[in-house]
C-alpha cells in the first residue's frame, strides 16, 4: 500500500513537468511569431525589445545600425523548419530574410542565426543573439 502514494506523487510530478514544458513551448511559439511579424513589418526598433534586457543594456543598438535598418524593407522572413532545442531552456532558429534597399531597389538575402533563452524567473523567452546583421554579404 505504501507504493500507491509514491506512484501518485511521481505521476503528479511528471504531469506538472509536462504542463510546464507545454506552457514553455506555447510561449516560445507566441514569441517567435510576434518577433517574426515585427521583423516582417520592418520594425527593428520594436524587434530590439525581444532581446534579453541584460544583453540589450550591455550592447544597445547603435544609431548607425538603426539608420541602416531604416534603409531596408523586409520582403520575406522564412523561419524554415522552426526552432531546434539545445536544452530545456534554449533553442536555435535559422531564418532567411530577404531585404530590399529602399534607395537602390536592390534585393538581397541574409541568414539570421537566432538563439533564444527561456528565463525561468520572468517566464519569458528572450533573444540572446541580437538583431539580424543586415550588413552581411
CATH number at residue 88: 3.10.450.100
Give me the percent of the chain exceeding a pLDDT of 90.
Answer: 77
Query: For the chain, how many structural domains are there in total?
Result: 1
Inform me whether the pLDDT recorded for 103 exceeds 70: yes
Average the pLDDT over 104-130 and give the result: 96
Q: Are strands 107-119 and 124-127 parallel, antiparallel or unpaired?
A: antiparallel
CB within 8 A of 12, min separation 6: which ones?
A: none
Domain carrying residue 100: 3-127
d(CA 129, CA 24): 19
pLDDT at 8: 41
Give me the percent of the chain exceeding a pLDDT of 70.
Answer: 85
Give the single-character DSSP code of 129.
Answer: S
Average the pLDDT over 99-119 and give the result: 97
**Structural domain includes residue 134:** no
d(CA 52, CA 83): 18
Dump pLDDT digits (tens) for 63-83.
999 999 999 999 999 998 889
Amino acid at each position: 500500500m505504501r507504493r500507491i502514494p509514491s506512484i501518485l506523487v511521481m505521476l503528479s510530478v511528471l504531469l506538472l513537468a509536462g504542463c510546464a514544458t507545454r506552457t514553455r513551448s506555447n510561449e516560445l511559439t507566441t514569441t517567435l511569431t510576434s518577433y517574426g511579424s515585427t521583423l516582417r513589418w520592418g520594425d527593428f526598433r520594436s524587434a530590439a525589445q525581444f532581446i534579453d534586457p541584460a544583453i540589450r543594456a550591455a550592447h544597445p543598438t547603435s544609431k548607425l545600425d538603426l539608420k541602416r535598418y531604416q534603409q531596408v524593407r523586409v520582403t520575406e522572413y522564412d523561419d524554415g523548419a522552426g526552432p531546434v532545442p539545445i536544452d530545456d531552456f534554449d533553442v536555435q532558429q535559422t531564418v532567411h530574410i530577404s531585404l530590399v534597399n529602399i534607395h537602390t531597389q536592390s534585393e538581397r538575402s541574409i541568414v539570421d542565426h537566432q538563439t533564444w533563452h527561456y528565463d525561468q524567473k520572468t517566464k519569458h523567452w528572450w533573444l540572446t543573439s541580437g538583431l539580424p546583421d543586415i550588413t552581411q554579404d
